Amino acid sequence: MIDEFLQDDDYTLNAGLIDAILATVEAGEHGRLVALLEPLHEADIADMLEQISPSERENLLILWGHKIDAGVLSELEEGIRDEVMRDLPDAFLAEAVRELDTDDVVYLVEDLDVPQQEKLLEKLDAVDRVAVEQALTYPEDSAGRLMQREFVVAPNHWTVGQAIDFMRAADDLPEVFYDVIIVDPMMHPVGDVRLGMIMGTERDVLLIDLMPDNFRTIPVEQDIEHVAYAFNQYHMVSAPVVDENGRLVGVITIDDAMEVLEDEVEEDMNLLAGLGDEDLSSRVWRTTKRRFPWLAVNLFTSVLASMVIALFAETMEQIIALAVLMPIVASMGGNAGTQALTVAVRAIATHDLTSANAMRVVKREVLVGLANGFVFAVIIGIVGVVWFGDPMLGVVLGLAMIANLLVAGLAGIMIPITLDKLGIDPALASGVFVTTVTDIVGFLAFLGLAAMLLL
């Protein structure tokens, strides 16, 4: 029944399925709702819950009853997840979290009130509870919060055959794992061996003879942004997490690392736009509060740019064409600055822009700004001459364009580099500063040259 609604080409649920689910909820048909939701992946159900309104979501959860899978909760955006968990009985949540890996349990309970945390944690097995409580003691954005405690280890003297026999006999292996971690008697990881390598090797071969040379461990308090970078940079599938004494305490897998990488990209995009931690499901008041501060900063910087214009009020009164053409220079500079800024912020985040190559990149952006400045100076200069019939006005417009695009490229690369050196997230405030610089320089160059050459 669900096949008619699925869009296999882009892995999204079409509007027909969502409409059918909402119609089923409105009609109160519990059996049909279960039939529609049961074939769906947990991530697809989470997407559906995020796309409908709060009242529709509440009605759906009431009709669905306590059939919701705990995995769905771990797939939800934070704001929606907290809302859904508030609507579910504590007894159901406590039972549901027992099915999850420890990293998913940590994700679900870390933002709950302490009393609700205790109610959920007391339902866990003693070993899992200790693991979750230990994870909650680590910094919020650290490897300790991200790691899971379910992993497979083998002593460094085992053979392939011993490892296979152990895994076949074990009844508590993780549902998904990629490597067997090799440890010494003090539980220090010394390497790992991929499962595929184990299955394709003779039984009497020592595991240590199969370990790759590029083995890496993750410190338990390392920032998750650096963890995600390491996974992406070194093509890691999983990595052991070690405490301050080098002992194995957990493992991070590729799915968790890539989720962090996606979150970091989303965060950078939001910060570049002057947004906070928000998404499409955020409430109006919460979104308004988060956007207001940077809009206020932008208002202040806009006043500064307006003050520059006010310095040339008499010039503009004498040459009306300046008021018509002035936004062109400012807009081109703003766009050029944003282009350089976007490249710089992403390059800093991926460690591609460092002190070793910073000057070369700055030089490149200056040359790009100059090149584009000359090209667009010719174009806009001709436009100015044709439009207003004044060759000197075209010259002023062209010179201002060259100056502003040059400064835009320089500001777009230097401002994020400077903020990064000061320990400030370059995505946080670069956009406002770059826009301010390009506006002020653009107005100064255009109106200043006009005052000197046209009057």
Q: Where are the domains of the chain?
A: 3-135, 153-253, 284-453
Q: Which residues contact 60 (CB under 8 A, 6 or more apart)?
A: 21, 22, 25, 33, 49, 52
C-alpha 246 chain-centroid distance: 29
pLDDT at position 102 is: 79
Cα dist from 231 to 267, 274, 423, whole Å = 19, 28, 24
Query: In sequence order, which residues have a C-beta less than 8 Å from that of residue 302 and are 6 or more positions away?
Result: 439
Burial annotation 332-348 (CB, 10 A radius, 16+ → b, else e): bbbebbbbbbbbbbbbb
CATH 3.30.2020.30 fits 153-253, yes or no: no
**pLDDT tens digit at each of 455 positions of the chain:** 555 555 555 667 777 888 999 999 999 999 899 888 888 888 889 888 888 888 888 899 888 876 677 788 888 887 788 778 777 777 777 777 777 777 888 888 887 777 778 877 887 788 888 888 888 889 988 999 999 888 999 999 999 999 999 999 998 888 889 999 999 999 999 999 999 999 999 999 999 999 998 899 999 999 998 999 899 888 899 999 999 999 999 999 998 888 888 777 777 766 666 665 666 666 777 777 777 777 787 788 788 888 888 888 888 877 888 888 888 888 898 889 888 988 888 888 777 888 889 999 999 999 999 999 999 999 988 988 888 888 998 999 999 999 999 999 999 999 999 988 888 878 776 777 888 888 898 889 989 998 888 87
The pLDDT score that the predictor gives to residue 10 is: 62
Distances (CA, A) of 243 to 71, 157, 219: 28, 23, 6
CATH of 3-135, one of 3.40.50.300, 1.10.1040.10, 3.40.50.720, 1.25.60.10: 1.25.60.10
Q: Which pLDDT score, from 0 to 100, does residue 66 have?
A: 65
Q: How high is the pLDDT of residue 319?
A: 83
Q: What is the model's pLDDT at position 26?
A: 92
What is the end-to-end Cα distance of the chain in Å, rounded? 77
The CATH number given to 284-453 is 1.10.357.20
**194 - beta bridge partners?**
179
CA distances from 358 to 335, 341, 353, 435 (A): 22, 14, 6, 22
Tell me whether the CATH fold assigned to 153-253 matches the one assigned to 284-453.
no
Strands of the 218-219 sheet, one edge to the other:
218-219, 238-242, 248-253
